[in-house]
Structure 1
Amino acid sequence: MNRAPGWLQQAESDLEIARITAQAGRHEWACFAAQQAAEKAVKALHLHLGQEAWGHLVTRLLTELPITVPSMLVEKARSLDTLYAPTRFSDAFPAGAPDEHTAPCRAGRRSPMLVRSLRSSVLRWPGRAEVLQALAAWTQRLELPGLAAVGAFSSYARGEAGVGSDLDVLVIVEERALPFERRMAQLPLDELPVLAEALVYTREEWERLGERSSGLAETLRRETVWVRGGVD
């Protein structure tokens, strides 16, 4: 019995739930449903190709397919995988519930677009150096009181970014009146050349990050490429 059509049908249903919950403002469930839709769609493809797959990580499910998968899809899967637990469990964030942190801009993100070179009519995706340079210029225009440092982490910092990759930005400020979940929305991230998300910490929160999440703190300190200022 071929169960692939059933899995694909459920994936389409989950995707519709993602759209409905996003429109209702329940962005944490919209993000989770989107992750589930991708997971079930890839499992349907596994079954269609004559093999069974287990687990929830879309990235791993894609890489275990017996066919070549575009790197752009794998990169997008990494973004979806980050939504599997944090959108449902409160302890994935410094404080508060998932629905307080899952902003509309994350649940309903615009599609990534290629850019046109100034010296060519060919559409292309900006490279690592170009993106980091744009980020550095962006920080000079950024009107943010008490701005201490700005850097990039994840794929652009590691030099692993490809077509469709998001830019992960780390911002450190001396003090911040807004609650953690509202800080990213205050940044003009749409001025950057690629889709971007940001973590905004006060200096005190940054220094104490290891107490709450030692793994995240270690990763950020190891990976971050500072383009303005810098903190230990």
Structure 2
Amino acid sequence: MTPRVDAWMRQANSDWAVAELTAQQGFHSQACYHYGQAAEKALKALLISLGSLPPYSHALDRLVDSVEAGGVDVSPIRTVRLKALSRMNTETRTPSDSEAPADRFDAEDSAQARTAASQLMAFASTMTSKQTRYRYD
């Protein structure tokens, strides 16, 4: 693993840790956001490991398509709820009409975000390093 790829994975791991802490404290909108960020950074690390410049995008389905275009079999992660996790990137940060994200997202949402992010991060970690250095379960 190159230092740049490792840096992206370390940052993904840091976002994961923040998500875990905020979920445990009941801040579910923030947890959803950070789980999404962790997954995004892990996928971008994978793209960098393939020699690609990651697109400037928060859309996880687009990142997965880019990984596939780089020659990686992404079938193990095609069932992950990518669009739902991607939407959380914006919907968890700013109010919609009179409703704050803190009021819209609950423990079920953060649990679903955690599940999706863990699958993406484990896949990216396996593909970038072929070792179990990072564990997301």
| Fold conserved between structures, TM > 0.5 | yes
Contact 1:59/1:74 (<8 A) preserved:
no
C-alpha separation in 2, matches of 1:76 and 1:52: 24
Distance in 1, Cα, partners of 2:66 & 2:30: 27
Match of 1:56 in 2: 58
From 95, 98, 110, the equivalent of 1:107 is 110
Against the structure 1 CA distance between its residues 73 and 11, is the aligned structure 2 distance closer, same or farther, given a 3 Å change threshold? farther
Q: 1:40 Cα shift?
A: 0.2
Structure 2 residue ranges without an equivalent (≥5):
117-137
Q: Which residue matches 1:145?
A: none
Match of 1:39 in 2: 40
Aligned to 2:17: 16
Question: Are 2:14 and 1:5 aligned?
Answer: no
Give, in whole Å, the separation in 2 of the partners of 1:51 and 1:4: 11
Moved more, 95-104 or 35-44: 95-104
Q: Deviations over 1:105-151 (max 9, x none)?
A: 11124869xxxxxxxxxxxxxxxxxxxxxxxxxxxxxxxxxxxxxxx
Partner of 1:170: none
Counterpart AA for 1:4: V
Deviation of 1:68 after TM superposition, in Å, equals: 2.2
- Please tell me the residue identity of whatever aligns with 2:81: K
Say which structure is richer in strand. 1
Structure number, greater radius of gyration = 1
- Alignment partners' CA distance in 1, 2:115 and 2:46: 24
Q: Which amino acid in structure 1 is aligned with residue 25 of structure 2?
A: A
1:28 alignment partner, SS class: helix
Q: Which runs of 4+ in 1 moved over 6 A?
A: none
- What is the DSSP-based 3-state SS (H/G/I as helix, E as strand, rest coil) of the residue aligned with 2:88? coil
Matched AA of 2:84: S
2:31 aligned partner: 30
Structure (1 or 2) with the greater helix fraction = 2
Whole-angstrom distance in 2 between the partners of 1:106 and 1:43: 24
**Structure possessing the higher relative contact order (Cα contacts under 8 Å, 6 or more residues apart):** 2
Identity %: 32
C-alpha deviation, 1:6, in angstroms: 0.2
Question: What are structure 1's unaligned runs of at least 5 residues?
Answer: 113-232
Change beyond 3 A, Cα 1:48–1:72: closer
Q: Per-residue deviation at 1:52?
A: 1.1
Give the match for residue 90 of structure 2.
Answer: 85
What is the CA-CA distance between 1:74 and the residue it aligns to? 5.7
Q: TM-score, normalised by structure 2?
A: 0.72
- If the length of structure 1 is used for normalisation, what is the TM-score? 0.44
